[in-house]
């Protein structure tokens, strides 16, 4: 499916799904950072937060052609 093949409804749905996924990753990163502050061994939680932060940054680069 190319950019011109996507209907307006599909684009709205696609954009909403990307925003929801990005928000979820951002919230998971915040949650992991809170857990890192409370943990005796924070490195694993800090790495998890980095992964979620990176995923939130990359998710906006996805296009319908990627799936």
Query: Contact 56/12 with Cβ under 8 angstroms?
Result: no
Residues 6 or more apart in contact with residue 39 via CB below 8 angstroms: 45
**Which carries the bigger pLDDT value, residue 8 or residue 24?**
24
Question: Which pair of tokens denotes residue 52?
Answer: 């979620």
pLDDT above 90: percentage of residues in the chain: 73
Per-residue pLDDT at 65:
81
The yes-or-no verdict on residue 3 having pLDDT over 80 is no
pTM of the shown model:
0.82
Residue range 19-47: average pLDDT?
95
Indicate the SS3 state at residue 67: coil
Query: Contact 32/66 with Cβ under 8 angstroms?
Result: no
Residue range 52-58: average pLDDT?
96
Domain positions in the chain:
13-62
Question: Which pair of tokens denotes residue 8?
Answer: 């307006």
How far apart are alpha carbons 10 and 8 in whole angstroms?
5
């Amino acid at each position: 499916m190319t950019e011109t093949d996507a209907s307006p409804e599909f684009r709205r749905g696609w954009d909403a799904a990307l925003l929801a996924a990005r928000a979820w990753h951002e919230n998971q990163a915040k949650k992991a950072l809170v857990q890192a502050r409370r943990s005796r061994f924070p490195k694993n939680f800090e790495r998890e937060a980095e992964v979620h932060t990176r995923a939130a940054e990359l998710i906006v680069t996805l296009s319908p052609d990627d799936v």
